[in-house]
Structure 1
Amino acid sequence: MHDEGAQSSPKIFANIFISFVGAGVLGLPFAYKEAGVMEGFIIMTLIGLVSTKAMLLLIDCKYKLLAKRPNGSSTHDVETVEAASPQIPDRDIEYGDIGYYAIGSFGRYLVEVSIIVSQVGFSCAYLIFITENINNVLPNLSKGAILIGLLLPLFFLSLLRHLQSLGTFSLFADFANIFAYGIVYYFDLSQTHHIKLHPRAWSLEGFPFFLGIAIYCYEGAGMILSLEQSVAKEKRGKFRTLFKIAMFIVTSIYISFGTFGYLSFGPETNSIITLNLPSGPFPLIVKLCLSFSLFFTYPVMMFPVVRIIELKMFGDPQSSGHAGIVIRACLVILTGLVITAIPNFANLMALVGSSCCTLLSFTLPGFFHMKVFKDDKRRLARAFDWLLILLGIVGALIGTQDALSRIFSGSGAEVVIDGNGPTAPALSSTHKQQL
């Protein structure tokens, strides 16, 4: 199957790029407002470098395990990890498989629970974005009514058993994403010279919050093995180089988008940057494009959640029948309940990023690599594994505590809606003239 995967470098690059440039970028300007420009630049750069290396460690683990198969090239001198070589599946290794062969069934359990919680969290963030922006465009509709109106069609979309069924919509969604981000980017760049402010450079108080948002932005970490497997086998040697290039560009976009978004709106920056846009045709197009994109990305995010649950309960997802319908209905309702309890986009991003994403992006890759390569005596490699583990644990503790304190205290960007869109006193007239 994989021989028919992506073969051209542009297509491989596009798959990587699209997997990492998601809704998280829309919360970055608010994160920069909380942490400061210089602090944000340093943290985002470091997180980009470390997370890229951590994801490549998972690929190293995969090929180490593949070499342990009976027909592998190095079975004669490699100690088994958790199980005997014949038990290593005759297929591509997944993240959960690495966890299993590193530390046993508990490792697979950790990966699967983290993926479920993080994917549900991403879906919830998408719902918040869509409801906020529809309410911004149609203020006469309550957010509750909008949410109820969204859940039913999303439930029917979640019934699709194959992602190929969403292929056409996903393609349009990707183009809508790129187009909308480009408009917001241009808008930010065109407005910075009108803003007279002294931007915040540093804020230790905002460090935990920004850390959670930054880690959330690399939400594709759990998909790194799937991305590599989507490449034709004879072309997989190119993947590492293309992946590094793509991550450099993605990190550069994150840094510039967050910086210019904050500089453009200053203290008025909202938790979702599109809510700062005034009324007008281009802002309306941006909101509609992004809402359309995230609406059809929602079932894609929920797909691995349903698959993991069905595999655990039924063994074969195709045999779930009516029970599978009930599972999907419960998951869709759950996302609605979550955003009713946590309606702030940035706070939810920080909570998901600090809790599950730190585990998937740092702690588990470091720990699994240490176990899989326990015969590796290189001190630098072992030190980096420990760095990932400690960074993940510390980031999870301080980030989760900060996110929960913000949620329970009700802090976050307040969006004031009037007849002309969000209130931004010093900016509205200038923005309207530009648009």
Structure 2
Amino acid sequence: MVAHLAINIIIFAYCISNASTWAWSKVMFRIDMVEFPIALGIIVFSYTSHIFLPTLEYNLIDRSKFTCMLNWSHVAAALFKSLFGYVGFLTWAEDTEEVITNNLPNPTFKGFVNLILVVKALLSYPLPYYAACEIIEITFFRGRPKTSFPSFWALDGELKVWAIGIRVVVVVFTIMMAISIPHFAILMGLIGSFTGTMLSFIWPCYFHLKIKEGKLEWGDIAYDWFVIFLGFIFGIIGITTSFYALVEAFHIGLPF
């Protein structure tokens, strides 16, 4: 959290310090029908925090405030991301990099900020990592006959050696994915257009309809189906445009 705030403050302060050179003329209030679906996929992907929500709710002191916390967190995140992206574009315009810290001109300063970014990534890793490991354990390793494989845990409550090996494999796999995937922004848009729309639009409404079947007003039902419809539309358009952009990036040899 501290590292994340430090990066945001540094980048934001740098952008503000260059306000005199902001490229106001480059800002255009129009929608690029090719780029927008990719951007939408990235935005949706940045909000796919559903996998962490049960853990967060479980660890709250007052769980009755979970919904309020969730609403205000998403509002604050939306406002900050919009402002951050807008100010960043004003500062660097079309030269804005996928990783915005790469726009910093001084190599030493850039290296320092990227070091903080690495620290932030390392500190942010445990939450999704443990969530992923928990899903793997619940799905495959609860012991027979519940699952096909034996339990991660020994009778004394300690994690088995081979289970530690599986967790190491998860870490190594994610590291290899992170350092080897080219055109990460486009790929993130592609993934976000599929998993993001499913997690953020389609499945929540579908499960809400199923769980509350027979108890919902017609307005709530119509609203859920409308969101599901939007999810399918956004997903199909985003997947198509992102896949096309990814193919084009490889075809013309854009730098990774």
Could you tell me the TM-score, scaled by structure 2's length? Answer: 0.83
Taking structure 1 as reference, are residues 327 and 403 closer, same or farther at Cα in structure 2, changes over 3 Å only? Answer: farther
Deviations 1:333-355 (A, max 9, x none): 43345346532231232122112
Distance of 1:281 and 1:335 partners within structure 2:
28
The answer to whether the aligner puts 1:321 opposite 2:165 as a matched pair is: no
Identity over the aligned pairs, expressed in percent?
A: 27
Distance of 1:277 and 1:370 partners within structure 2:
48
| C-alpha deviation, 1:181, in angstroms | 0.8
Contact 1:366 / 1:386 at 8 angstroms: preserved in 2?
yes
Contact 1:347 / 1:406 at 8 angstroms: preserved in 2?
yes
Deviations 1:37-83 (A, max 9, x none): xxxxxxxxxxxxxxxxxxxxxxxxxxxxxxxxxxxxxxxxxxxxxxx
Distance of 2:48 and 2:9 partners within structure 1:
20
The answer to whether the aligner puts 1:217 opposite 2:46 as a matched pair is: yes
| C-alpha deviation, 1:245, in angstroms | 2.3
1:232-271 to 2 correspondences below 5 Å: 232=61, 235-271=62-98
Instruction: Flag as ranges the 4+ runs of structure 1 deviating above 4 A.
Output: 411-416
Taking structure 1 as reference, are residues 279 and 189 closer, same or farther at Cα in structure 2, changes over 3 Å only? Answer: same
Deviations 1:313-365 (A, max 9, x none): 32043246243234234333433453465322312321221121221111110
The structure 1 residue matched to 2:200, chosen from 352, 356, 361, is: 361
Name the amino acid aligned to 1:201. F
How many residues align structurally?
Answer: 241
Contact 1:215 / 1:357 at 8 angstroms: preserved in 2?
yes
1:388 match: 227
| C-alpha deviation, 1:194, in angstroms | 0.4
Name the amino acid aligned to 1:394. I
1:424-435 to 2 correspondences below 5 Å: none
The structure 1 residue matched to 2:29, chosen from 181, 201, 209, is: 201
Taking structure 1 as reference, are residues 341 and 293 closer, same or farther at Cα in structure 2, changes over 3 Å only? Answer: closer
The answer to whether the aligner puts 1:230 opposite 2:65 as a matched pair is: no
Contact 2:206 / 2:224 at 8 angstroms: preserved in 1?
yes
Please, which runs of 5 or more residues in structure 1 have no aligned partner?
1-173, 417-435
Deviations 1:265-322 (A, max 9, x none): 1111111111111125543332111111102323432222222222333204324624
Moved more, 270-279 or 405-414: 405-414
Contact 1:271 / 1:344 at 8 angstroms: preserved in 2?
no
Distance of 1:377 and 1:294 partners within structure 2:
42
Taking structure 1 as reference, are residues 365 and 349 closer, same or farther at Cα in structure 2, changes over 3 Å only? Answer: same
Distance of 2:253 and 2:57 partners within structure 1:
38
2:3 match: 176
Deviations 1:77-128 (A, max 9, x none): xxxxxxxxxxxxxxxxxxxxxxxxxxxxxxxxxxxxxxxxxxxxxxxxxxxx
Contact 1:270 / 1:415 at 8 angstroms: preserved in 2?
no
Taking structure 1 as reference, are residues 303 and 238 closer, same or farther at Cα in structure 2, changes over 3 Å only? Answer: closer
Q: CA RMSD in A?
A: 2.6
Distance of 2:178 and 2:242 partners within structure 1:
15
Name the amino acid aligned to 2:38. F
Name the amino acid aligned to 2:29. A
The structure 2 residue matched to 1:407, chosen from 246, 251, 255, is: 246
* SS of equivalent to 2:194: helix
1:398 match: 237
The structure 2 residue matched to 1:273, chosen from 92, 97, 100, is: 100
Distance of 2:67 and 2:97 partners within structure 1:
36
Please, which runs of 5 or more residues in structure 2 have no aligned partner?
143-150
Contact 2:34 / 2:241 at 8 angstroms: preserved in 1?
no
| C-alpha deviation, 1:413, in angstroms | 11
Taking structure 1 as reference, are residues 273 and 329 closer, same or farther at Cα in structure 2, changes over 3 Å only? Answer: same
